[in-house]
Amino acid sequence: MTRPLTIAIDGPAAAGKGTLAKRVAARYRLPYLDTGLLYRAVGRQILAGGVDPDDPQAAARVARGLDVADLDDPTLRGHEAGELASRIAVHAPVREALVAFQRGFAARPEGAVLDGRDIGTVICPHARVKIFVTASAEVRARRRTDELVAHGRRDVEYGRILAEVKARDERDSGRDVAPLKPADDAHLLDTSQLDIDAAFRAACDVVDRVLAAQDGH
Ligand code: CDP
Ligand code: CDP
């Protein structure tokens, strides 16, 4: 029996994880889960319910009651929702509440593609393929700025986005639980100089090499 093809894609904000993960999932015909949406949805429900985002237990209660049917809402993908997500993602009980759903998704017989911060390290430590996507903070801030402008936002300023990207890197990498870091066996993919197509080709090369090696070719 072939082993499930579980692909873990991690990296900092605006590195291109989501764009890459979606295309990789389509290429290998696998289901895809953007795990950032879980944290974003919890953040939003916390805000809507008037819950204190800095209270780990109160935030975890919201996480335990999360309705995953809400993940389709496009407004969750906004920049502000990402900031709030990063704030509540530091709480260990919030993270624990979201583990079972992510592992359940990853355990499909054919495999799955998941992207986030701790997929290769915590959620799927035995994933067959792990890719850690990076790009310089400046490139990522530029991408985020362009994205916001393309979505019609007029109040965006590159300098502010850069400061926010750096602050989020620091919070995501510096937290005690499941900090953002490459797994020991992750393939690093720096997309600073790569457009989306080039990053996709590089990721497929990684997947194909791992598959060929594991199949004994
Ligand atoms: O999921 P993550 O926050 O890591 O990044 P993303 O949403 O996939 O990508 C952020 C933005 O950068 C999007 O607008 C992508 O189109 C763009 N991008 C790019 O310009 N070049 C890449 N190699 C990857 C993404
Ligand atoms: O697209 P972008 O990288 O900006 O954000 P995201 O992947 O949607 O994640 C939003 C926030 O959720 C991150 O800054 C992390 O703090 C948190 N997160 C996490 O801690 N673990 C994950 N597996 C996914 C997201």
pLDDT score for 1: 57
Average per-residue pLDDT for the chain: 95
Q: What is the mean pLDDT of residues 93-102?
A: 98
What ligand has the least distance to the C-alpha of 139? Answer: 1
Is residue 211 included in any domain, yes or no?
no
Binding site membership of 168 for ligand 2 (Cβ less than 6 Å): yes
* C-alpha closest to that of 108 among 217, 3, 216, 189: 3
Closest CA to 19 of 164, 168, 133, 166: 133
The reply to whether 210 falls in a domain is no
Work out how many domains the chain is built from and give that number. Answer: 1
On whether residue 74 sits in a domain, the answer given is yes
Identify whether 72 is part of a domain.
yes
Q: Among 9, 19, 20, name the best residue to mutate to test ligand 1's pocket (greatest count of ligand atoms within 8 A of Cβ).
A: 19
Give the integer Cα–Cα distance in Å for 42 and 34: 14
**pLDDT tens figures, 18-35:** 999 999 999 999 999 999
The verdict on residue 208 lying in a domain is no
Range of the domain at 87: 5-201
Find out whether the beta carbon of 35 lies less than 6 Å from any atom of ligand 2: yes
Nearest ligand, CA 150: 1
Closest CA to 14 of 153, 146, 186, 182: 146
174 is in an annotated binding site: no
Residue 52 in tokens: 């204190």
Residues 6+ apart with CB under 8 A from 87: 43, 53, 54, 171
Tokens of 44: 């939003």
Q: Is residue 18 part of a domain?
A: yes
Query: Measured from the CB, is residue 36 less than 6 Å from ligand 2?
Result: yes
Structure tokens at 202: 């590089």
Å from CA of 212 to ligand 2 middle: 31
Distance (Å, whole) CA 84 – CA 87: 5
Does position 195 have pLDDT exceeding 90, yes or no?
A: yes
Cβ(108)–Cβ(101) below 8 Å: no
Task: Give the three-state DSSP class for 185.
Answer: coil
Per-residue model confidence as pLDDT tens digits over 145-175: 999 999 998 999 999 999 999 999 999 999 9
Q: Has residue 149 been placed in a domain?
A: yes
- The answer to whether residue 85 scores a pLDDT higher than 70 is yes
pLDDT of 17 over the 70 cut: yes
CA distance 197 to 74: 24
183 has a pLDDT exceeding 80: yes
What integer is the mean pLDDT of 71-88?
A: 90
Question: In the predicted model, is pLDDT for residue 130 greater than 90?
Answer: yes
Which candidate, 38, 16, 7, places its Cα nearest to that of 128?
A: 7
**Is the CB–ligand 1 distance for residue 191 below 6 Å?**
yes
Which residues is 5 bridged to in the sheet? 111
For residue 212, being part of any structural domain is answered with no
CA 63 – CA 95 distance, rounded (Å): 8
* CATH number of the domain enclosing 183: 3.40.50.300
Would the CB of 180 count as within 6 Å of ligand 2? Answer: no
d(CA 82, CA 145): 14
